[in-house]
Every structure is written in structure tokens, then in C-alpha cells.
Structure 1
Amino acid sequence: MTKITLITGGSRGLGRNTALCVARHGGDVVVTYQSREDDALAVVAEIEALGRKAVALQLDTGKIAGFPDFADRLRNTLSAIWGRETFDHLVNNAGHGDYASFAETTEAQFDRLVDVHFKGVFFLTQTLLPLLADGGRIVNFSSGLTRFAYPGYAAYAATKGAVEVLTQYLAKELGARGIAVNTVAPGAIETDFGGGAVRDNPEINRHIAGITALGRVGVPDDIGPMVASLLSSDNRWINAQRIEVSGGQAI
């Protein structure tokens, strides 16, 4: 049976790359988007061109009150497109950066980061558990910033640290259903994250490359294939792990 992977924030960046890599590995995909419907539909078209099925559904992962409605829409989509009641893999990728020093971080910034990166991950996963097939997989995106520190990311990194702890508890509590749960922690990647600073600022790019063992900054193609591999049946015994994909940044 073809595996179905739900990827939040799949319209751009690492989510888009992961969606395409899953499709190349023979899987079907549901991508969510917050506001970029055109981008999400473009991803769907790319996946369909690979001979796989794909659907885009709107979701704001920072608005927990909307999760029951999303679950209903997902349930209807699974039935209509796949004739199924469940999906196989949940990739909690959606997120945003909000740069501010610890001293200048506002409560509004903090609350939005927590809502999207931690509270949203917690309660979306909880809401979707009845639709997640036994023997399935969950991958939670974290960040290399939970291991190495850069000023300006205290609140963001703290929420990602919470997700890493949550991953271990999910692995423990969902193990009876055969569901493996892992964290993927990318290093600095050339995307539009944080305003595209790593991608578009030559000074930042050179600095990151200089402190990375492999001598360059990461690109989306360094991440998506790794996640797709983690979801494959070949990696059935990896569970409750934090896997950093950073090329050896800051070691």
C-alpha cells in the first residue's frame, strides 16, 4: 500500500523539498500551507508530474482552535482521494523565524513562536492521532540552534528544545502503536527563513561555511532526502532520536 505523508508548511523551503523527496521515493503527499496557496498548488503539480498523488490543505499551525476542522477536512480528503481513513507519516515542519535579542523579545513575539513551534506541534499531533495509522512515523523539525547558540534566537531555540523533549515522550507513549517519533535538526540552510539571511547575505554565508566541517552552508536538498529516508521502511528501528543535519556546523 502506498504511504501517505502529511507535511505542514509544505509550500516552500524545507517542507517543499521534503514533499518532493517523499514523492520521488514513491509516496503520496498532503501539504499544508498558511497563506501561499499558489505555491502549495505548484508543489502539488510537481508531485503529480512525478506520478504520485498530492493535495494541498490550508492550515495555520498557530491557531489551535482550527485543528478539529482541519482534521475533518483531512478525513474527507483521505476518503475521497485515497479511499482510506488514515495516513502514515506526519512531518511537523511549519514554522517561522523571529529574530530579537533576549532583552528585546516581546511577549507577542514569544507567544507566536510558542503557538507555532511548540503548542501547535503538540496539539496538532494530538488532534491527528486518530487518523495516524499504527506503525506510522512522526518527524518533528527542530534546529541546530538547540545545540549551538547565536544571539537573537533565544525564544525560537527554546521552543525547538521543547519539541525535542516532546519527541521523546511521544516515542514512549506511542510505541505501543508501533509509531516511531524522531527529531530532525537542520543547521543553517539557504532558504527564505529569517528573511533569507543565510541565503542572501554573503557575510553570514561565509561565516557559517567557515565554521562548518564540510566547508559550506546547507541547501534544502541536504534535508529533504534525509527526511524521506527516515520515513522509509529501511529505517524502521530509529526512534526517539535527535538527528542533526548540519554538515558538522560549530563542532
Structure 2
Amino acid sequence: MKGTILITGATSGFGEACAMRFAREGYHLIITGRRQERLDALKEQLEKESGIQVLPLCFDVRDKAATQAAITSLTGAWREIDVLVNNAGLALSLTPIDEGDTDDWDTMLDTNVKGLLYVSKALIPLLKARGKGHIINIGSTAAKHVYAKGNVYCASKSAVDALSQGMRIDLLPYGIKVTAIHPGAAETEFSLVRFKGDQGKADDVYKGFTPLSGDDVADIVFYCSTLPKHVCINDLVVTPTAQANAYYVHKTNI
């Protein structure tokens, strides 16, 4: 048994890709998300293809009580978690701040910031008890460079950046690694969610260049989590070759 990985937001995008990547390498998985049917389908697929054990936990990371209850429910070997991938997150809308929907703001901050905190707080005692472990927080290039109409989303990912640095310091005495990975443009469900199901707008984001894929990011997560015990990548920004940062993207043939 290589170990156990807990991935939030595992039913799509980076989370699903990470689950598949770790499964191929023989790791057992705890997968979380809000959609039970997707969790069940992913569990069936991974166990059939890779012969690993998968435990699905259906809850919303925004719900503090549900999050704590889900982690508390773990028993036996499932409590021996080696890596937490804090992946659950989203962007909603792309509007000037004075035109922003406050419900969208709440959803982004509750998911991207508070949800990450709730899961981490519930899980850290298990890592401390073992004197080892690794927390990987999925951020964004939006944490490094604010762009027009990105306001609250950028703020939420800047918080992930700061929290990752704080976790790294606070958990230093316990042998727990903390890594923040900040992907740039990646073609997942991200833009479709941001534009609330408008496929045309979502597709336009990626025209004229080759974006990252979920698999690209999953490979990086896997690499960071399998380095020697004495090596920790603290902060990593990854973009497509055509993207310099959150703002500058070179597009052709559009």
C-alpha cells in the first residue's frame, strides 16, 4: 500500500484528474464532492481500472459542520492520510466590482477560502498525530496578478496563497509539507462554471492557444507529492507556454 490521498472537489477538473493520476500509481483515495452520483461513478471506475480502494464522502466544503463530520467519520486505515489536495474551488462571473453579485461573492469566498480552511482544520490533527503529511492547495495565477473584472475571485486566490504560506510556517515543527500550486489558463469546467453554463463564452477563453489540461496539473501535483521527505516545493506557478501571467496571453488565428 503506497498511501492514501484525500482530494476535495474530485468530481471534475483538476480534482478528477488528480484522482485518476494517483489511482494509476496504486494510491488509495478519499474523494469528496457535492454530487453523490459523480462520486459513485468515479469510485466504480477507479476501483475497476486500478484495483485500489476508494472512499467517497459527499459534502459541501462550505458547510463547516458537514465537513467536520465527514472527516470525523473516518475510521481505521482511512485516518492515515498522506496527502490532502485542497482542490475544491470556483469562479463565478466576470464583472466590475460595482456590478458584482453578492451571492457569487459569498459562494467564491465560502468555497475557495473558508472551505479550504474547514477541510484543513479538520484534517491537520490526523497529520500531526502521525508526524508527517502533505497539504497541497490549488491556487491560481489570479493569486499573483489581479486582472480586470476578476476582483473577488482574485482576492480569494490571494488568500489561498497567503494561507499556504501561513500553514507552511505553523506546521513546520510537525514535519508536514505545504505546497501551493497556481495554474494559469486550463480547459476544464472552470470557465463553464464562471459563465454559468454559457458554452460559447467558455470556449472563447481558450481560442487561439493551447491551454493547460487537468492532466497537466495532476502530473504536477503528483510530482510535488512524491519528492523525497526532505524536499518541499512551497510555491509553484504553472501556465501554458502562450501565457505569461494571469493577464498576458498570446493568441493566434482568431
So what's the TM-score if we normalise by structure 2?
0.85
Flag the 1:233–1:155 CA change in 2: closer, same or farther, 3 A: same
Supply the RMSD in Å over aligned alpha carbons: 2.1
Question: Which residue number corresponds to residue 185 of structure 1?
Answer: 182
Aligned positions of 1:15-26 closer than 5 A: 15-26=15-26
The reply on whether 1:46 has 2:45 as its aligned counterpart is yes
Compute the displacement of 1:116 (Å). 0.8
**For the residues of structure 1 that align with 2:30 and 2:68, how far apart are their CA atoms?**
17
Kept in 2: contact 1:20–1:46 (CA 8 A)? no
User: What is the percentage of aligned positions where both structures have the same residue?
Assistant: 27
Kept in 2: contact 1:98–1:153 (CA 8 A)? no
More off after superposition, 145-154 vs 115-124: 145-154
Question: Deviations 1:196-219 (Å, cap 9, x if unpaired)?
Answer: 679865542225x2xxxxxx1111
**For the residues of structure 1 that align with 2:146 and 2:166, how far apart are their CA atoms?**
25
Question: Which residue number corresponds to residue 226 of structure 2?
Answer: 232
Question: Deviations 1:5-39 (Å, cap 9, x if unpaired)?
Answer: 000010111100001101122211100011x2222
More off after superposition, 143-152 vs 85-94: 143-152
SS at match of 1:206: coil
Aligned positions of 1:193-208 closer than 5 A: 193-195=190-192, 201-207=202-208
Question: Deviations 1:212-250 (Å, cap 9, x if unpaired)?
Answer: xxxx111111111110111114475124x2211212422
**For the residues of structure 2 that align with 1:63 and 1:161, how far apart are their CA atoms?**
22
- Alignment: residue pair count: 236
1:152 to 149, 153, 171: 149
Question: Which residue number corresponds to residue 213 of structure 1?
Answer: none
Question: Deviations 1:77-131 (Å, cap 9, x if unpaired)?
Answer: xx2xx3x542111110011221132121233222221111111211221121122
Compute the displacement of 1:58 (Å). 0.7
The reply on whether 1:167 has 2:164 as its aligned counterpart is yes
**For the residues of structure 2 that align with 1:203 and 1:113, how far apart are their CA atoms?**
22
So what's the TM-score if we normalise by structure 1?
0.86
Runs (5+) with no aligned partner, structure 1: 210-215
Flag the 1:140–1:232 CA change in 2: closer, same or farther, 3 A: same
Question: Deviations 1:19-70 (Å, cap 9, x if unpaired)?
Answer: 1101122211100011x22221222122212121111111201111322211
Kept in 1: contact 2:186–2:213 (CA 8 A)? yes
Question: Which residue number corresponds to residue 32 of structure 2?
Answer: 32
Kindly provide the amino acid, as one letter, of the partner of residue 235 in structure 2: R
**For the residues of structure 1 that align with 2:190 and 2:206, how far apart are their CA atoms?**
13
The runs of at least 4 aligned residues of structure 1 exceeding 3 Å deviation read 196-203, 233-236
